[in-house]
Structure formats: C-alpha cells, structure tokens
Amino acid sequence: MIQEKVAETPAASGEAPMLLALRNVGKVFSNGVTALSKVDLAIREGDFLSLLGPSGCGKSTALRLIAGLSTPTSGQLDWRGAIDRSNIGFVFQEPTLLPWASVFDNVWLPLRLKGVSRAKAEPAVMEMLSRVHLTGFENAVPRELSGGMKMRVSIARAMVTKPRILLMDEPFAALDEITRFKLNNDLLELWQDERFTVVFVTHSVFESVFLSSRVVVMAARPGRVHGELPISAPYPRDEAFRTSPGYAALCRQASDVLVDAINSTAGSHHDGH
Amino acid sequence: MTAIEDNVLTLDPEEARRARQERLERIGKWVLPLAIMVVAIVLWDRICVWNAIPQYILPRPGVVLQTLHSDAGLLFSSLLVTLRITFLSLALAVIGGVGLAVLFAQSKWVEMSFFPFAIVLQVTPIVAIFPLINIYVDNQTVKLLLCAWIVAFFPILSNTTLGLNSVDRNLRDLFKLNGATRWQQLRYLRLPAAMPYFLGGLKIAGGLSLIGAVVAEFVAGAQGQSSGLASRIIEAGYRLNAPRLFAALILISLTGILIFLVLSLVSHLILRRWHESALKQER
C-alpha cells in the first residue's frame, strides 16, 4: 500500500509535465527596490516546491506574481494550458478569515463569489471540512477556534475550488511547533490524495525539507534564485522520517545552501533566523 | 465550615481580593449612580424648602412629577412630534451617511473631492445655517428634518467611510484572487467589516438627531408654528411655568437615554458573536 502511493506520487518520477515556467522574471517596486531579479523557475505538475530564503529575498513577491496579484516588471510567466484564477488557491501567512462569518461560510466564500448557492456548495464544503478534520465546527465563528484550526479553515477555503496549484505564504510560521508538525502531516496527506501542485514559501529549513519534493533557495538584495535542492526522500513522510538521519542530512545540506545564499549578499546585515 | 476552608485553600489572598473587588464593582456599577441620583433629588427638594424658593424659579421635584402627570396629554403629544422628527432624521442620516460612504469608498478621488464639503457642513453651527434654510424651505417639517439631518449624518458618514476603508489587505487580495466583482466585494467584505464602525457612528447620531430636532425647533420656534417639546419649553419659559419646563426637559433627557440604550443593545446583538467590543461584556 505504501509502495503503491510512492509510485503514484507524480513528483517522484521527475517526468511530470511542466505547469508553469518563470522566465527571466524581475520585479522593481515604484520606490526603486528590486524585489526580484532574473528569476528562472520551472514548476512541474504535482511538485511540492518550497521557496526558502531569508526575509527580503522576494519569495513572497514571487508568490504574488504567480497568483496574479502583481505583474512582473520584466520577463514572463508561461502557464501550460489556460489557467485562470479559479485554478489557483492561496493561503496567507495569517488565516485571513471573515471574522463575522461561520466556518462554513468562510469555506463557501470562493464558491459563493462564483455564484454557487449554499445548497449546491454544501457537499464540497463539508467534504473539505472533513479533509482538514473540522467536521462539526461548521457553525463556529473564527474567534472560537484555535490558531491551528483557523489555519485549517484557511486551507479548506483555498482547496474548496479544487485548484491546480496551491500557493502558501509562510502559512504555519505563527503556530506553535506541535501544531505546525500536525498541520505539516495533514497537508502532506491532502497533497498526496489530491495531487495538486504546491508552492510553499518558508524561512524554515526543517519545514521545507520535511514537506517538499524540491527546495529552491533564494538570496536577497536583489531577490534571486541561489540554488536548488531536490529532496528525493520517498512519500509518505511521517514522524519517523522527521527523526531519521536521512532527514537530518538533508536539512544540513539545505542549511548549507541557505548560509551560502545569505553570505552571497554583498554587505549583508542579515540577522538570521 | 469545610466549604469555607476549601475556599481559603483554593484562592490565595490576591485572587480572593480580586474576586471581591470584581463583585463589588458589579454591584457598584448600578447602585452608585442610582444612589447619587436619589441624593441629588432629595437635596434639590431640601434646597427649595430651606430657601423658600418660589415655584416659578425652581419647582420642587414632586411638583415636576405632578406636572408630568397633569400635563401628560400636552407633553406626550409634543414628545411624539419631536420623536417623529428625531427618527425620520436619524433614518435619513443613516441612508445619507451610508450612501455617501459607499460612494466615497468606490474611489479615493470621489472621497478626496467631496469629503471637505461634509466637514464644512459638520463644523458650521446649525443655528447659524438655519436662517438660510428658513429662507429657502417653506415646509416646516422639511425645515426641521433638514436641520436634524445635517447634525446627525456626519458621524455615520465619517465612521462608515473609515470602516469601509479598514478592510484587511489580505482579505482584499483573497477577493481579487477569486474574481470578486466590485459589488461582491462591497456586499460580502467591506460592508460587514464596516459594521462595527457604522454602529459606533449610529450611537452618536442617535443622540445628535434628538439634539438636532430640538435645536431646529428652537430656532424655528420664533415662527410659533411648531408643537414639539422645544416649543413647549419656549412657551413655558415665557409664562414662567417652570414645572412644565422641567417636565419637558426630563422627557427629552429620558428619550435621549432610551435612544442610546436601544442603539447600544442593537449594536451588541449584531456584534456579540465576533467583534472584540462586544466580547468583553460577555466575560
């Protein structure tokens, strides 16, 4: 059973079709800051790709460009096939829920904005809620939930439209470690079942290695891709993987690339994480 | 005996003191203002008696109460007139304030262009504007409504505009990502987000519309065509009928308090599930 799942994981084959290519992408803000410079990045269907880097390396900017929330100053984004915004799910750093709306209404929102009635949306919403282990909480309002539960609602909302690509901007950074590990596991489980593509922004080496099939390390000033590290460890990854020597070695590798990226920034005053 | 001992064991002195303090504050919140009120009324009565103050200068509280009863027909029909102006102008202030705020929220340019006019209307004393209104408008009710509206609409406009503009940036991005139309963004995001601000403005506007209605009638009262509480006060003043003057005053105050309490309750009921301001009261 486990063997089968590994074989099915698209990223494991390395032959998955291209979903999106960033070609020579640059972004300069109106205040003159170069957020991104000459970024080339290929994202394949089914990738779990982490953008790892110090603050100010443009990883969030890259995510916003992919989401279409911002346009590149130079270069281009090539999507394979037609993609519209309903194919993109986005999870923010904070849960970003409507505080006045119930959990159900929050998850329903993306469908509601597309004109899907409550009754028609109900099966999809309830299914997503059960996928993130929130069955029974559909009538609660966000303030009645813990930080981890709010983030689960946020993930359910992003996934309810069955997007082809899920963009996550340091979603678990504000959570305590126990909750973060739990959500890491649940996210991987969801990803393996649904086989969407993930671009995951983080500044945690450990988190990126645990989750990803590829870690792309970025450097700051200007924001650019410094290096890439394939994480070939098989899925499913569980708590045993988290404590294995293989995982520790991979973290060491990723950490070395990250330190190298930080040092490559001339005159760096970065204070580290 | 054991119960007391348990209590001593479970609560350290600091916590016990805090619990006692909270209990006292809960009771004091109601008892203190009432007690002070009673003392003040008794003192008022005594001062009248001790100094033998004539009724047409300062009536005793009992006399005021009697007048409230004996003149009830006259006073309450006047109160109804004032209330009609108050609520009509409050309704118009809500429609006008929210409507303008929504218009302002559509574009920064509209807001920048027209907000100064709203401020001009707000800062110019209504008493000074009234002679103009008196020239341009014939209908007495419309005159009063216009006056009360000018006084009451600004807090609603200003608060709702602030609320509509204080939407979380990420939520705005979320709506954009999901292809929300301008109308959907307003309906599902900006209006609900502005609700606590609007309700805050409404509480202020409720009191102001009553003040506006009374002031408007006062200023218009020179023409002597109106019959609200303000004209009763003017009339009673001319006739040195101090008891009726006081009775009318008390009615206006009570009405203002009632409006405030009702609007506070409405606000609490709407916000109690999610907004911080309503949560504290539940604890």
CATH 1.10.3720.10 residue window(s) in chain B: 61-282
Q: Are A198 and A190 in contact (CB under 8 A)?
A: no
Q: pLDDT per residue over A191-211, tens digit each?
A: 998 889 999 999 999 999 999
Q: A88: part of which helix (H) or strand (E)?
A: strand A88-91
Whole-angstrom Cα distance, residue A73 to residue A37? 10
pLDDT at A15 over 80: no
Distances (CA, A) of A185 to A137, A200, A235, A241, A242: 21, 14, 11, 11, 10
Q: What are phi and psi of A42, to 5 degrees?
A: -110, 130
Could you report the per-residue pLDDT of A201-251, keeping only the tens digit for each? 999 999 999 999 999 999 988 889 999 999 988 888 888 898 999 999 999
Instruction: Kindly tell me if the per-residue pLDDT of A269 is higher than 90.
Output: no
Q: Cβ of B121 under 8 Å from any chain A Cβ?
A: no
Where is pLDDT greater, at B280 or A103?
A103
Question: Would you call B105 exposed, middle or buried from its count of C-beta atoms within 10 A (0-12, 13-18, 19+)?
Answer: buried
In this structure, is the dihedral angle defined by the CA atoms of residues A201, A205, A208 and A214, taken in order, positive or negative? positive
Range from A94-103, A263-272, B89-98, B154-163 carrying the lowest mean pLDDT:
A263-272
Q: Which residues of B touch A109 (CB under 8 A)?
A: 174, 178, 188
Residue B226: predicted pLDDT: 61
Residue B225: predicted pLDDT: 57
CA A164/CA B48 separation, integer angstroms: 83
Q: Which of B171, B178, B193 sits opposite A96 (nearest CB)?
A: B171
Cα R_g (chain B), whole angstroms: 25
What pLDDT band is residue B9 in, cutting at 50, 70 and 90? Answer: low
pTM: 0.84
- Looking at per-residue pLDDT, the higher value among A86 and A28 belongs to A28
Structure tokens at B236: 């009673």
Nearest CB among B177, B188, B193 relative to A67 is that of: B177
- What pLDDT score was predicted for residue B218? 85
Mean of per-residue pLDDT scores for chain A: 88
Place of tokens 């995510």: A63
How many angstroms separate the CA of residue B194 from the nearest CA in chain A?
A: 11
Residue numbers in B near A110 (CB within 8 A): 178
Please name which of B102, B146, B152 lies closest in space to residue B259, comparing C-alpha atoms.
B152
pLDDT digits (tens, 9 = 90+) for B33-57: 999 999 999 999 999 999 999 988 9
The Cβ of residue A250 has, within 10 Å, a number of other Cβ atoms equal to: 24
A-B contacts (CB, under 8 Å): 57
**What is the C-alpha to C-alpha distance for residues B213 and B90, in angstroms, rounded to an integer?**
10
Distance (Å) of CA B162 to CA A51, A257, B111, B158, B194:
37, 47, 11, 6, 8
pLDDT tens string B223-269: 555 688 998 898 888 888 999 999 999 999 999 999 999 999 999 99
Q: Indicate if the pLDDT at residue A9 is higher than 50.
A: no
Q: Which of A94, A100, A110 sits opposite B178 (nearest CB)?
A: A110
A94–B279: do the CB atoms touch at under 8 Å?
no
Calculate the average pLDDT of chain B: 88
Tokens for B127, please give them: 């008493």
pLDDT digits (tens, 9 = 90+) for A118-129: 999 999 999 999
Subunit contact A109:B188, Cβ cutoff 8 A: yes
Please give the average per-residue pLDDT across A239-268, as a whole number.
87
- Is the CB of A109 inside 8 Å of chain B's CB atoms? yes
Mean pLDDT of A174-193: 92
Q: For chain B, positions 163-182, list CB contacts with chain A under 8 A.
A: 168, 170-171, 173-180
CATH of domain B61-282: 1.10.3720.10
What mean pLDDT do residues A83-112 have? Answer: 91
Q: What would the 3-class secondary structure string for A221-271 be? A: CCCEEEEEEECCCCCCCCHHHHCCHHHHHHHHHHHHHHHHHHHHCCCCCCC
Q: Find the length of chain A.
A: 273
pLDDT (mean) for A85-107: 92
pLDDT given for residue B62 in this prediction:
93
Percent of chain A clearing pLDDT 90 (strictly above): 69
Helix axes B229-238, B72-106, angle to 10 degrees: 130
Q: Chain B residue with minimal CA distance to A96?
A: B171
Res A8: pLDDT: 39
